[in-house]
Homo-oligomer: A and B are copies of this chain.
């Protein structure tokens, strides 16, 4: 059923029916109800393409799928996307996922813009001076950034308080008696990674604990790197009695390393992980339950979709930015340091 037919069926013009359905004020309440009922009855719903052609919006937002950079292409991606999709479907928007070509990300973004297949773009995993952000602001193409940069030009972004998360975690560990605390986080250069290191350093500084550069590790997020790096850390003398893990994957590897060295988890060596809240990797179900800094990446996805729609509606980007706090949730993988049995 198309608009014309519905209008004929009702004995009204297409104009009126369209307005009734789209909530325009200049239509009688009784008429509107009659139209709505008929639309429901005949199962009418507007042809998305025609509608978009008419209003001059593509009706889709784009996001690039990082292809080779494994650190950005894990479970995080799927959670984040899911949040995006959830919100976008409410706004009748499509999500166009484009794979980046030949590792030349910037070119992929440019192509996405000039393809005219998206109204706006979502950018993730920025570096401090992210060239994509620079390019997009320069090109005045609507986008929202998940994360932050040091780029001055105004743009919309949403980030979590990464510095706060690690500061909180480290401070807590210090307060319960730890003096040797290591961190294993994502690759250097990424804003989140830098911020976390900053938070970590601040906590140590504030409590007068010297920073041992060997204890700061930047690596890809994965079970394996967690395992290897933790093994290395634990072989130092003195070894860290607590490890901050940048992701749940990393933390799993750290768990394994601690056990393989024969230490007791949460006693001889504590672990605090950053938890992006995966439905299938639950911190509280682990043994022992994992102490985490928690912030839902899925919620962030939803919210970012909302923000992008606001940008598209013309809201000034200067006013669109949010920093989400991160909760520290104490569980069994962390506790006061206990001297080894041996």
CB-based closest 5 A-B pairs: A78-B78, A85-B97, A70-B279, A86-B99, A70-B280
Chain B: which residue is nearest A95 at the CB level? B97
Q: How large is the interface on A (under 10, 10 to 19, 20 to 34, 35 or more residues)?
A: 35 or more
- Pairs across A and B, CB under 8 Å, 15 listed: A45-B116, A49-B59, A65-B81, A67-B82, A73-B78, A73-B280, A78-B78, A89-B97, A89-B98, A220-B280, A222-B280, A223-B281, A223-B286, A224-B281, A259-B259
Whether A227 is near chain B, meaning CB under 8 Å from some CB there, is yes
Whether A60 is near chain B, meaning CB under 8 Å from some CB there, is yes
- Proximity bits, A77-110, B CB within 8 Å = 1, else 0: 1100110011001000011111100000000000
B282 A224 Cβ-Cβ under 8 A:
yes
A220 and B281 alpha carbons, distance in the complex (Å): 11
A65 and B286 alpha carbons, distance in the complex (Å): 26
Chain B hits for A60, CB < 8 A:
94
Chain B hits for A280, CB < 8 A:
70-71, 73-74, 220-222, 249
Chain B: which residue is nearest A278 at the CB level? B74
Whether A256 is near chain B, meaning CB under 8 Å from some CB there, is yes
- Proximity bits, A245-257, B CB within 8 Å = 1, else 0: 0000100100110
Binds B, one of A50-58, A210-218, A323-331: A50-58
A53 B49 Cβ-Cβ under 8 A:
yes
A217 and B114 alpha carbons, distance in the complex (Å): 51
Whether A28 is near chain B, meaning CB under 8 Å from some CB there, is no
Residue A96 contacts which of B70, B95, B221, B287 (CB distance < 8 angstroms)? B95
